[in-house]
Amino acid sequence: MCAEHVWKWWWELNSRRPPGFDNLAPISYSELRAWILLTGKYVAPEEIRWLIDMDNAWMTAIAEERKARREREKAEADRNKSGR
């Protein structure tokens, strides 16, 4: 895979993700810039876009899973209240 390195970069960045509201915050451009400067990596503009797109997709998936979990928990609580 020609962009496998970008996937590895994203995991590296993701592992250093700062906490945000509900313990989830997107990787910011300033964090990307700092990471690039500190690691000395050359990151092409399209690779930055890929990193952002990957992060957006991950954030969306996490948000959807959390919403589904809340809905399951609410449904379970409603079943328990109704005595089923």
Model confidence pLDDT, tens digit, residues 11-63: 999 988 877 666 678 899 999 999 999 999 999 999 999 999 999 999 999 98
Q: Please check whether residue 15 lies inside any domain of the structure.
A: no
Side chain identity, residue 49:
R
What's the CA gap between 47 and 36, in Å, rounded? 12
For 56, the domain range is 42-84
In a domain, 29, yes or no: no
Structural domains in the chain (count): 1
On whether residue 69 sits in a domain, the answer given is yes
Classify residue 37: in a domain, yes or no: no
**Which residue carries 């328990």 as its tokens?**
80
CA distance to 4, 7, 24, 59, 63, per residue, from 35 (Å): 18, 15, 19, 20, 25
Q: Is residue 64 one of the residues assigned to a domain?
A: yes
H-helix segments, the chain: 4-14, 29-39, 45-82
67 within some domain: yes
pLDDT tens-digit map of 16-30: 887 766 667 889 999
